[in-house]
Structure formats: structure tokens, C-alpha cells
Amino acid sequence: DPDMPFVPSIPEDQFILVEEGDPAVIPCRTSDPEAQVTLVNSLDKPVHALYDTKQGFIGNFPAGSYTCKTMVKGVEFKSDEFLIYIIRATSQLPVEIEALKTVYKTGETIVVTCVVFDNEVVNLQWNYPGKVKEKGLIKLDDIKVPSQKLVYTLTIPEASVKDTGDYECTARHATKEVKENKKVAITVHDKGFVHLEPQFSPLEAVNLHEVKNFVVDVQ
């Protein structure tokens, strides 16, 4: 099609996520397989890369904006703009789960954190007793210094006995079929309790200078 030498791209194709060190495909394809295509960066400078008419330009590109150009009967045409994002990711998915404490009283706030290391883009899901009622508040902190980690915090305000159970986070790799899940058991009591069992009588006699121990079992 001389009026549309570049095959239209869908928005999803214009944002390209690439792991560090991996090649990427900039999918500007032409309707004429014989067309001469040039790839340029955001400074309009040519970028040298392998071109495949069925895929587009293939290579290791720095993060940034790229556009393809071609000439049809002396008229220059430009493709849509393609944005490459370089993400930090490992083939493994190190995940840790942590709870400030595992035993709560009714009315207290449950806090559980799930930390994903060395990966910038993951899909993470929580499973917990109050999920059906959407009781939990989820916050994400993306920490890059001194090392990359994603900290997901699940907060359950005004906990009740019904919030007792397993709290599980499942992380899925953004580009690979890798997943990891961790869980912690949380118990919520109706009220706090302390049981004291003294190992002595209500009244004790002690001789002068005598050393005597008074023992209390606390549960």
C-alpha cells in the first residue's frame, strides 16, 4: 500500500519491555517487502540493526524512543514511535515474606510484607482470609538503592478472629514462566490473655539473711 507503507501497530506493540542484555524486536513492518527501511533514535540518528521484513529491527538497543523511516516514490514516511524499556530481572525469583508478629488481638492491625529481589517487573497476588471482602490494603515500594527490591505490604485494619489463617503471596515473572510463593500463618484471638501460676503460697516466711527464690510461670 503506497499510502501506508508501514503496517499499523497496536498500542501494546509500541511499548517494548526487555530484560538487561536480551535482544529486542522493534516491530515496524512494511507492506512492501522490498522497501528500504531506516531505524532512527530520538535524536534522529540512524541506528544499525538487522532488519527482517516479517518482524522488524532486531538487536540490543539502549532504552529510549525509536522510529522507522522509508521512502515511497520520493516521499518519506515514518512509522509509529516505539519505546524500549530495559528492566532488571533474574531467571530466578527470590521472594521473602515477613510478618511483624503472628499473633494478634481483635482490633489490632495485621501487617505482612512480601519482598521480591532483583526483579523490577513482576505480577504479585495475595491470598488471605479477608480477600473476598477486599479487607486488605496493598502498598508497593520500588526500592532501587542499594539493590533492587519490590516491597509489597498488606495491611488488615481492625482485625477479627475471622482473619486467622494463612497469608500467602505469589510472585510471577514478567517474561518467563517462573513463579514463587511464600506464606505465613496468622492467629487472631478474641482478646489478649496472660496465665500466671505462682510456685509459692500467698504468705511466705523468710529467715534473716536467707536467700529464697520466688518462681512464677507465665504463659
pLDDT tens column, 1-17: 778 899 888 888 899 98
Domain boundary among 55, 87, 119: 87
pLDDT of 50: 94
- Residue 69, CA distances (Å) to 36, 56, 109, 126 in order: 8, 12, 57, 46
Indicate the pTM of the whole model.
0.62
pLDDT band for 114, please (50, 70, 90 cuts): very high
Domain that holds residue 161: 95-189
Same domain assignment for residues 99 and 171 = yes
Domain boundary among 69, 87, 105: 87
Domain containing residue 136: CATH number: 2.60.40.10
Count of domains forming the chain: 2
Same domain assignment for residues 100 and 147 = yes
What element of type H or E holds 187?
Answer: strand 179-189
* Domain-embedded: residue 181: yes
Grid cell locating 197: 501460676
